[in-house]
Amino acid sequence: MTATFHSVRTPLVLPVAGAVTVGLFLLMRQLIDIGPYVPEPVEELPPFEIRFDVDPVEIEERIKMEDFAPIDPPPRPPSIETDRAAVEAIPDGSRWALPPIEAVEISTGGGLVNIDRQPLPRVRVQPVFPANEASRGRNGVCTVVFDITAEGRTANIRARDCTSPAFERATINAVSGWRYDPQVRDGEPVIYRGATTQLVFSLEE
């Protein structure tokens, strides 16, 4: 009975196996098939033209000298005749003299002319009258000695023979603000020592 059972089962399995195989093949083909290839649209660029010819360049016409109208030169200024003043002849034997000229020391060292000069005042500040002396109605004087630097400033100020300490302080304060053109020696500014002056304090002025 066992041999008879196997002979009946074999014809049924083969058709079923073949149908399954064909079905799987068709299914795989359908899954693999992605349809016909459709290319992506390509954007068309606008046409352009390459030119090898160059547009002519306009060249400005050069200005020639002949294009300018000649300009006549201005007329010469009229000559003016002047009469010369008559000069009387100096009789023989007469004498005359020029006004005196102050002597100036001139040095020609180094090819340059150097003039020596004494200090010249440029700024002289007036002193302030002391209030306590003015209230008493007192006048005063003060002699002061100072140096003048090469920059024209006053230095080393010393008061001498002053009526009172108040006039001395007022004198020193005033002289400290004075300015000078410095002394010049051999063309170079130098210090001047021992300048002396006297300040007078008077209520009547």
Domain boundaries, the chain: 120-126+140-201
Give pTM, 2 decimals: 0.44
Asked if CATH classification 3.40.390.10 holds for the domain at 120-126+140-201, the reply, yes or no, is: no
- Per run of 10 residues, the mean pLDDT along the chain (length 205 residues) is 49 70 76 66 63 60 61 64 43 37 46 74 90 91 93 92 92 92 92 91 81
- Write a three-state SS string for the chain: CHHHHHHHHHHHHHHHHHHHHHHHHHHHHHHHCCCCCCCCCCCCCCCCCCCCCCCCCCCCCCCCHHHCCCCCCCCCCCCCCCCCCCCCCCCCCCCCCCCCCCCCCEECHHHCCEECECCEEEECCCCCCCHHHHHCCCCEEEEEEEEECCCCEEEEEEEECCCCHHHHHHHHHHHCCCEEECEEECCEEECEEEEEEEEEECCCC
